[in-house]
Amino acid sequence: MNLKLGDFVRFVDENIEGYITRIIDKDTIGVTDTNDFEIPVLASKVTLVHGDVHDNDVVSNKPAPAVPEAEFKKEGIYLALVTDQHSSSVAHFHLINETSYQLLTSLTTEKQGAFKGEFAGIVAPNTTKKIYSAQLGDIQLWPKFRLEILSSTTANVEPKAPIIFNKNIKGKDLSVAKQEITLLKQKGWLISLEEPESIIDAEKLKASFFK
């Protein structure tokens, strides 16, 4: 069973339910019950509660409807970090797509020279997709993120340049105040994945040739 942080599970042998708040090792997880007590348990001793649907289970490759060029939004791609609604110790990473492009996205993590593909899929225009989860208290142990994004549209609009975000998320990235994230309907931290468009000052450029 492919269990993830934030999943709602039920113990097989006991009348206990709760959310997965820690992945201890490949066989053991930590489940926090209704009394906020984290219980270590073998992953084989829990089952997913029916009706608890992952938002990443279905990936559609159906092209998004074309947006008129005059209304086409070209900017607004972010990596958002929010805490789990049921356990503040769990952090979820979402790709936020406020643009009119479809985004073909791949996330690979790297830790001590070991690589792992975490997510691959399409993020539709004006939607979000959860791509990774981690223990918020273990931020110093988080792997390096390599996020690669290609844009696509059926509209008569030039695609964006490929985005490659390759870095570690550190405590200083979360030292700023949380922002309201409209598409997620909750507050969190936002990291822009788009480089600000450079503005060339013609006079300064001209002057530089005569120094």
DSSP state string for 8-72: EEEESSSS-EEEEEEE-SSSEEEEE-TTS-EEEEEGGGEEEPTT---TTS----PPPPPPPGGG-
pLDDT value at residue 113: 92
Would you state the pLDDT for residue 87? 83
- Per-residue pLDDT for 37 more than 90? no
pLDDT higher for 201 or 152? Answer: 152
At residue 198, the pLDDT reads: 43
56 pLDDT exceeds 50?
A: no
- The pLDDT mean for the chain works out to 84
| 61: pLDDT strictly greater than 80 | no
Strands 8-11 and 17-23: antiparallel
Q: What is the pLDDT of residue 182?
A: 93
Closest Cα partner for 22 from 7, 2, 1? 7
Q: Which amino acid is at 205?
A: L
Q: How far apart are CA 52 and CA 143, in angstroms?
A: 27
Residue 126 is predicted with a pLDDT of: 94
pLDDT tens digits for range 73-95: 999 999 999 998 888 889 999 99
Can you give the pLDDT at residue 200? 47
Give the model confidence (pLDDT) of 121-179 as tens digits. 999 999 999 999 999 888 999 999 999 999 999 999 999 999 999 999 988 888 888 99
Prediction pTM value: 0.74
Q: Provide the 3-class DSSP secondary structure of residue 145.
A: strand
Higher pLDDT, 203 or 93: 93
pLDDT number for residue 203 = 60
**How far apart (Å, rounded) are the C-alpha atoms in residues 159 and 47?**
43
